Amino acid sequence: MLKKSHTCYVCQKTFTNAIYWYDSIHDSKYPKRLIKPFCGPPCANKFREISDENTYPAREKPWPRGPEWQIIQDIDYIDYESD
């Protein structure tokens, strides 16, 4: 299986080996799951500073089910949607 390349959501740099990303799984603002990868801590922190991500209301239970809603520990080998 080939490793996926990612584009940083903040600086648009292309990279592999994603360690930092935003996952909309617990935020009710999004009707579908979105993954926003970051190339490193500076871009992840910048996203937290410039977005209202910390104020999104939590998704109400019951949480969505299905393969697209499973907990993700590595985004290097999966297909995901980003906005």
Spatial distance between the Cα atoms of 33 and 83, rounded to a whole number of angstroms:
10
| Cα 12 from Cα 67, distance rounded (Å) | 28
Q: How many CB atoms lie within 10 A of CB 38?
A: 24
Which is nearest to 22 in space by CA: 50, 2, 3, 63? 50
Residue-level pLDDT at 78: 87
Going residue by residue through the chain, which has 83 residues, state the pLDDT in tens, using 9 for 90 and above.
677 899 999 999 999 999 999 998 888 888 888 999 999 999 999 999 998 877 888 888 888 888 888 888 999 988 888 88
Q: Which residues lie below 8 Å from residue 59, measured CB to CB, with a gap of 6+? A: 25, 26, 27, 28
The token pair at 33 is 């799951």
Give residue 11's pLDDT: 97
**pLDDT at residue 1 in the model:** 61
